[in-house]
Amino acid sequence: MKSAVLLAACCLTMVSTIHAQTDTISETTSEVYLMGGTSYPYLPSETREIWKKGWNAGVGYGYSFKPGAIGYGAAYASIEYSRFTFNDAGYRSWLLPQYPSDNATTIQHGGLSARGPEMILTASLNFKAAFSSSRHSIAPYFLAGVGFMYYQRDSAGIQGTTLYTMESKHEATFTWSVGIGIEAPLVDPVAIFVQAKTILGIFDDPRQFFPFSGGLRIRL
């Protein structure tokens, strides 16, 4: 009899715990995102030659909504920073086809007057559609976002001449992004994720890059 009572009490405790957890995760909750990884430049075409792959880091804050039958949605604002290192050899290779062959020696062996990085800052509003009926399980997801991009690069040139100079540039525009990812619970209320995105800046000469990142989603 005592064993039966003890078993019933344990079952009641478990049911109460599961019910309380279900009630909690069915509510809209606020979340913080911390992320970082590698970025690859793509457009304009010379970007892929003159700058190497770089790194990115970002933070975000938003809300995750009540799970439905096939998944749940989340909306969050994010700020992400990407930095690309100047590629000396790539810059010279990009210059050579544009000038007569008698300038090849200057281009190939002349010292650089500048070799600044390329930097991109984006601020965006994002929507995430996760394909899982619970926020406590592994969930693949789709991302889409719109926002604002600030782009900056330093000048580059060959010492002793201004013929090959690439001027510095600072510009801003609207941007959109799409991506995919997957997240998995780590310890409540923390989940880890990895994702890949394409981000396109709507300049006269469109600017596109691909950030691959991983990080933490923390439910508050």
From first to last of its 220 residues, what are the pLDDT tens digits of the chain? 433 333 334 433 333 333 334 434 558 899 999 999 999 999 998 898 899 999 999 999 999 998 888 899 999 999 999 999 999 888 888 888 888 776 788 888 778 877 788 999 999 999 999 998 787 889 999 999 999 999 999 888 888 777 788 888 999 999 999 999 999 999 989 999 999 999 999 988 899 999 999 999 999 8
Closest residue by Cα to residue 202 from 127, 144, 118, 146: 146
DSSP count for the chain of H helices, then E strands = 4, 10
- In contact, 59 and 36? CB cutoff 8 Å: no
Question: Containing H/E element for 17?
Answer: helix 2-25
Between vectors from CA 29 to CA 215 and to CA 57, what angle results, nearest 5°?
20
According to the model, what pLDDT value does residue 154 have? 86
Q: Which domains does the chain have, with CATH numbers?
A: 31-76+89-123+132-219 (2.40.160)
Q: pTM for the whole thing? A: 0.81
Region of 164 on the Ramachandran plot (φ > 0 left; ψ -120 to 50 alpha; else beta): alpha
Coil, helix or strand at residue 50: helix
